[in-house]
Each structure stands twice: as structure tokens, then as C-alpha cells.
Structure 1
Amino acid sequence: MDFKTRTLQELRAARGMLASRRTLLGFDGFVDTIVTPVALRASQGENFTPFAGIAEFGQRIVGAAGKSTNIELYPRMDKLGGNGPIMANALLAQGARVTYVGALGEGTVHPVFADLAQHAEVISLCAPAHTVAAEFNDGKIMLGLMRSLDEITPEKISAVLGADGYRDALARSDLVALVNWTMIPNLTAVFTDLVERVLPQTPVRPGRLFFFDLCDPEKRSRADLAYALATIAKFEQFGRVTLGLNLKEAQQVHATLGFAPLTEAEEGLRQMAADIRQHLDLTTVVVHPKESAACATRDATHWVPGPYVAQPLITTGAGDHFNAGFTAGQLIGLSPESCLGVGVCTSGHYVRTARSPSHGDLETFLANWQ
């Protein structure tokens, strides 16, 4: 039996279970403007040639050194953004109960988060950040305005939720997902506050999961990254910890922990996940490049291919959808391999349709995956 059949069987057997699972996510929030950079315009509207890829786009920029250049960004859509809100929406689509705490609006919730606010319990800490996401066939470049995220501190979270409210939100959650460490300067302080002050006073919930996503830590120093990773490891005393990493993030973490580079093939991905997991003594580490996904648990390593598509409809948010699928699988007790399968299918469905899949959509996707 191949992994797709096993994943489909496990997913069908767990149908409806996610509705009883509570999740708490935080703390970012972005308004994303998705754009296509224009290489050559013929006339108005969409009558233009986009850049072939990031390299060609980069050459245009490098060629402007000492001069100047004008690059048109053709708008595709404004949408809810941020690792946390996108992951929250994807979990809602699959049937989970969601509480979201983050940068959703100053005073009132920003309109892009209106649908999230309608289906989840939401608590805003500050104004959202803004990202212009330039998408290419071979990746994306995210240009962010993020000053409002400086307001996300342990003190602000406690003040908005209240001491009892903070502990209550944690106490009733089966999954606590804390994401976008890179772009929230004070998030390590939030982690420290949780493990030293808040969680020791919070009732234990059997089987509680913690999930962390760093979000491209290249702009943070190795010392900052190493300290954050060590702090994340301390959450193991309060539940089972999963660290989710895309390929670039995994390579950065792997190097920061002192390991030599590995191949990007299946064997290297498995070993990278295992090295990181063992070094930090976490329950699970996941590595998910575009074409596949691997994870390491305390018992074994696992790998699955992904339903890669050469020309996706959207790529911004694909990793957050993978994270939602993987953690949804964990919440309903799927095997690690099937969690990977649900992760790659959640992402695969999203990049093809620009829509977060339901549980039924995932079953259909798996049944028709060739």
C-alpha cells in the first residue's frame, strides 16, 4: 500500500474529529498585496510579459546600480496575510476551532480579516503589518512594512488578554501555534515569558501540541536564532513540540546548530530533520521543500513526495497551508507519514485553487492524485 492510500484511509477514518479540537494561534497579521512584476509592457491591463524568474528580475535591479529604474508591480489581489492568519484560515477550513491573537487592527479589525473574525474568536493586539508579495514561477520576494509588530510584547499580550484570559486560552487549547519569529522582534521574549511565567501556572492539557514556524530567519543573527531555538526546546516540558521548517529555514537552522551541509534529496532531508530534532530534543521536526516533505520523530524519519505544480495559481501562503495540514493531522492522531501527506495535499490544493481545502477536498485530492 502506498502512502497516498494509507493517508486517505487514515483521513477518512478521522472524518469529523477535528471539530472537537481547539487551537490557539498567534501573533502576527499582515495585509498582503500580491503582485506580478512586469518585464515588458505591450498595452494596458494584463497585456504584458512578466519576468521569467527571480534571476531575471534581479538582473534588472543590478543593472540599475549607479543609475535608476522603474519596475511596475501589477496588482493581483489584496488578501489576508501573515503566517498565523493564513494557517488559522486553513485550519478553520478543515474544521478546527480557532482562537487567533495577533496584529489584526488598531481599534477595529482590518477588513481583510473580516472573514477570519466571523468564523474564529479573534483578539487584536495592534495594527497589521503590510507585505507586497512579488510572485515568480520559481519563488517569491516579500517586501514588508512591519513596524507595528514591535508592539507585540509579553506585556501587551498580558494586558490585552488579562492574566486569567491568557492562561485560560492556553488551558483549553489542544494546539498552540506560535509563528513568524523572524518578523516579530520580541517573540523570543514572549516565548520566555510563556515557559517561565505563564505555562507553569496553566493547567496541563493531555496531548497538547506546540507548533513553531520561524519564517526565514536569514535577517536575524545566528546568536538570536540559537537562543530562540533553545527557548523553543523548553516547551517540551509542557507538551509535544513540532518545529516546522521550509528548506531554506532548515538549512539555516542546521548550519546554526553546527552541522555540515546535506543534499536536498530524500536522504539529506531525512537526516537534516533528524539532526535538528535530536540536537534540540524535540518531539518532531518537519522539513518541507516545494517538491516533497520529511519529518523526524523520536522513533523514525519519514518522507513523502509532493504534488508539485510548475505554474501555481498562488504561492504566498503555501507553507502556512502545509503547516495547517500537518498539525491538523497531528490533532486527529494520524501517523507521521500521513501528517506529511495531509500537509503536502493541503498546500497542493491551495496553490492550484487559491482556496483553503476542506476535509472533503483533501479526500478528493488524495483519491485523484496520480
Structure 2
Amino acid sequence: MLDSATEAALASCRRDLPERLPETHVVHGFDGYCDRVRTMVDARTGPEEYDRMDDLSALSARIGGSVDLGTSCSIEWFTEDSRAGGHTSHFGRAFARLGFEPTLVGTYGDPPRSIFEEELDGCELRSVGSPSYTDAVEFDDGKLMLNEIGSMASLDWERLRERLSVQQLATAIDGAPVLSMGYWATIPFLPTIWRGLRREVWPVLTDPPRTVFVDPADIRRLSTERLTAGLDSLAALDDTVPVVVSANRAETAVFADLGESTATEMREQAIAARELLGVSEFVAHAADRAVRVDEDGTATVRTPHVAKPTLTASAGDHFNVGYVLGQLLGLGGPSSLLLGNAVANWFLRRGEPPTYGELLGFLSRFDSYFE
């Protein structure tokens, strides 16, 4: 349902978005994935005929049944598509399609694998390691992501600086309104990079980013000790430049639990997460709404339901693309949330990010998608 807060944010977006985007560069780091989009087979009926496993719950039932019987579980799957993935690839592809010329610093191989060069041909690639791999299985009610993080497991500030000097990093970052980074979950030593940027890069910038954006991704894979150890580095970075952390509902709950919050509602969990992390802004996003928390309070903006999405993997990344675009353009918090919801909603319906013209057209009729 289109509530008053969402309606106001939509009106603000329509009013404040420029007809053309500014000519500025954007920078994203520090990962790089080769993604294989997979389909699981429920039952094969012929050489070319099969019933697709539609629901993640069906996979759970299949595995649970094997456990109950004490037998191995064998499931057929096949690759439908391959693509460049990870934070930098999703952001690079989306911002290039919007009309920017992104600089991407990540693990693309040496030389970069052809999949990155072909799919991210509108971006400047600066590789700092070998790529990682993900098998992404799409279901109607969710997705299963199987990751092999490779060189990112050991990517820290020293390894990053071995591939790119402080001056090279400064040249890439200087003048960009926003620097985005992901993912803490798959770059466990990302806090050392936050510390290195703060201590060595920021002091030599002449036109530093106004905001640093961090996507932690599925931090449930990190130990409590590793998460706790990284908190001071993130808070210290926020003392130098305002930091925005954006997480989905499950990730937000992890941060809230780490802060010993007993909250069960996403808004309250987001408040607890921001307090724990010590950052300027915390954003929590889910399929039906997004919440932003800063020192002035909270804002909540809803998004319409997509009954049969074309693609769900990386929908959260595309929400973040919209939110970062709003920050880059100087929009207010609710408007940035609305823009994030719109980009994600377009992606769910089309399976690709929008051009800027398509985004403006989508926003002009966005209210019609609410039931």
C-alpha cells in the first residue's frame, strides 16, 4: 500500500531529480566474482524435459528427507547463465548503464578475466587479485548462494597496497562524491582497508568523497569475534568521513543481536545496529520496505510487491545502487530510500538495471504498482 511517507518521498524524488545526471566519476571496491546462475531440477521427465525446483523450501525438504533416511542427497542442476558478480560488478554495471564511467578496484585476475572486460566495458578496471566464484540458484521464494571467495579471504590493506600504491588509490578516489565498498562478509580483513584508507589515503586527497558507503552482505558467515574486532575501525572511519552502512533484514538482525538488542522489528533493529557500529547512517532494506536511521531519527519507505520476479539475485545490490545514486545527487534520506526501492523494483521486474531515462519513466508511474 502507498502510505503517506512513501507518497511524499516519491513526490520529492520526482521534483528533485535532475533531467540529466552530472558528469562525475564514481568508485567502487574491492571484490570481483564470476557468477554462475544455476537452476535445480526437481524431476527429469525426458532428455530435454524436466520439472524445475521452484521453491527453496522444496530444497530444504529434499535435504531434510535425506538426513532423516541417513542417505546422501543428490540434486541435478545446470548453468543458465554466467556473469560478472559481486559488489563492484553490480555497481559498475548499473552505474555505467545510468551513464557514469565507474572506476572499479577489485579481484578481476591478472590480466582481468574476459567476463569482466566484456560485461564491464564501460568501466575502468583496476585488479588487486584473482576473482572469486559464486553459484547462484534462483527459486521463486528466495535464492541459494554458494561462494568460493578465493583471494578475497586474504585481501587486506597490505595486499591491496602491494597492487596499487597509496597515490594510485588516491588518484582513483579523489573527486568522487561517494566511495562504495563491499562485502565485509567475503573480505574478512576489510576493516584493515578502512583503517588504511583513513590513515594513508584520506590525508592526501584534495577533494575527498562526501560519503563512504559500506555493504556488509551476509555477515552471518563471520564469527562474533571477527565482527566485534572490526567495529572500532569502522567507527574511526566515520570520524573522518560520514559512513553509511546498508544491510538487509537478516544482516540488520545480526548487528542488533551483537549489540544485545532484544528488538524484533526491523526499524528498532536498525536503530540498535547504528548505535553498535558508530556510523552516521544505517539503512535496512527488505522486500516490502526500507528504513534509514541517522542522528535526526528514522524514515521508512515502502516498495511494491513483485509477484513473479525475473531475477532476485543481487536485488539488494540494486537497492544500494539507487540509494547511493540518491546520496550522490544530494537527495534527502527518504528520497534516497525511495530511489533505492525503485531501482531494485525495476531490476526484479526486468532482470537488469535501468538507464537514467528508464528510471525517470518508472518513477513517473511508480505509484501505480502499489496495491
* TM-score of the superposed pair, with normalisation by structure 1: 0.91
2:309 equivalent to 1:312? yes
SS of equivalent to 1:67: coil
Conserved? CA contact 1:16–1:95, under 8 Å: no
Q: Which of 82, 86, 92 matches 2:96?
A: 92
| Native 8 Å contact 2:89 2:120 kept in 1 | no
**Aligned amino acid, residue 162 of structure 2:** A
User: 2:284 is matched with which residue?
Assistant: 287
Any conservation in 2 of the 1:28–1:82 contact (CA below 8 Å)? yes
Q: Which of residues 42, 64, 78 in structure 1 aligns to 2:82?
A: 78
For residues 332 and 260 of structure 1, do their structure 2 counterparts lie closer, same or farther at Cα, with a shift above 3 Å needed?
A: same
Partner residue of 1:41 out of 35, 39, 44: 44
The residue that corresponds to 1:61 in the other structure is 63
Q: Aligned with 1:64: secondary structure?
A: helix
Distance 2:79 2:218 in 1: 24
Deviations 1:93-121 (A, max 9, x none): 2233411000112x222222124542111
Give 1:71 deviation, angstroms. 0.7
Query: Retained in 1: the 8 A contact 2:105–2:125?
Result: yes
How many Å separate the matches in 1 of 2:274 and 2:302?
21
Residues 6 and 258 of structure 1: CA distance in aligned 2, closer, same or farther (over 3 Å): closer
Distance 1:256 1:18, change over 3 A: farther
Q: Is the 8 A contact 1:18 1:331 kept in 2?
A: no
- Which 5+ residue runs of structure 1 have no aligned equivalent? 264-268
Rounded Cα–Cα distance in structure 2 between residues aligned with 1:17 and 1:283: 29
Q: Does residue 187 of structure 2 align to residue 187 of structure 1? A: no
C-alpha separation in 1, matches of 2:5 and 2:294? 20
Structure 2 counterpart of 1:140 = 143
Query: Is the CA contact 1:12–1:363 (under 8 Å) kept in the aligned structure 2?
Result: no
> What is the CA–CA distance in structure 2 between the aligned matches of 1:151 and 1:225, rounded to whole Å?
16
Amino acid paired to 2:203: P
Say if 2:303 is the partner of 1:301.
no
Question: 2:167: which partner in 1?
Answer: 164
Match of 1:321 among 313, 318, 321: 318
Which residue is equivalent to 1:350?
347
Alignment partner of 2:249 out of 247, 250, 269:
247
Q: Give the aligned partner of residue 51 of structure 1.
A: 53
Match of 2:269 in 1: 272
C-alpha distance in 1 between matches for 2:297 and 2:24? 26
3-state SS, counterpart of residue 47 of structure 2: coil
Check whether the contact 1:17–1:332 (CA below 8 A) recurs between aligned residues.
no
Matches for 1:162-241 after TM superposition, within 5 Å: 162-203=165-206, 205=208, 208-241=210-243
- Alignment-derived partner of residue 130 in structure 1: 133
User: Following the alignment from structure 1 to structure 2, what is the Cα–Cα distance between the partners of residues 62 and 346?
Assistant: 36
Q: Give distance in 2, aligned partners of 1:152 and 1:108.
A: 18
**Which residue in 1 is equivalent to 2:264?**
262
Contact 2:16 2:331 in 1 (8 A): no
Shift of the 122–19 alpha-carbon distance from structure 1 to 2, 3 Å rule, reads farther
| Structure 1 runs, 4 residues or longer, greater than 4 Å off | none
Amino acid at match of 1:215: A
- TM, length-normalised to structure 2: 0.91
Letter in 2 for 1:189: T
Identity %: 27
Measure, in 2, the Cα distance between the counterparts of 1:15 and 1:115.
Answer: 30
1:23 aligns with 2:51: no
Contact in 1 for aligned 2:234/2:278 (Cα 8 Å): no
**C-alpha distance in 2 between matches for 1:39 and 1:71:** 8
CA deviation after TM superposition for structure 1 residue 42, in Å: 1.6
| Mapped partners of 2:26, 2:247: distance in 1 | 20
For structure 2, which runs of at least 5 residues remain unmatched after alignment? none
Q: Given that residues 289 and 303 in structure 2 are in contact (C-alpha distance below 8 angstroms), is that contact kept between their aligned partners in structure 1?
A: yes
Alpha-carbon separation, structure 1, partners of 2:102 and 2:34? 20
Partners of 1:163 and 1:213 in 2: CA distance? 23
What is the total number of aligned residue pairs between the two structures? 362
Q: Give the distance between the partners of 2:235 and 2:21, measured in 1 at CA.
A: 26
| Letter in structure 1 aligned against 2:136 | A
Map Cα deviations across residues 239-291 of structure 1 (whole Å, 9 max, x no partner).
2210000000000011111111322xxxxx32222222234332211000112
Q: Which amino acid aligns with 1:113?
A: F
1:108 lines up with 2:105 in the alignment: no
Deviation at 1:138, TM superposition (A): 1.4
Tell me which amino acid in the other structure corresponds to 2:122.
H
Aligned to 2:329: 332
Cα distance in 2 for partners of 1:277, 1:2 equals 22
**CA shift digits 1:157-215 (9 cap, x unpaired):** 2222222111222322211111111111322222222223332343353x611001111
Distance in 1 (CA, whole Å) between partners of 2:306 and 2:63 is 28
The CA distance in 1 between the partners of 2:275 and 2:149, in whole Å, is 34
8 Å contact from structure 1 (residues 307, 345) kept in 2: no
Distance of 2:96 and 2:31 partners within structure 1: 17
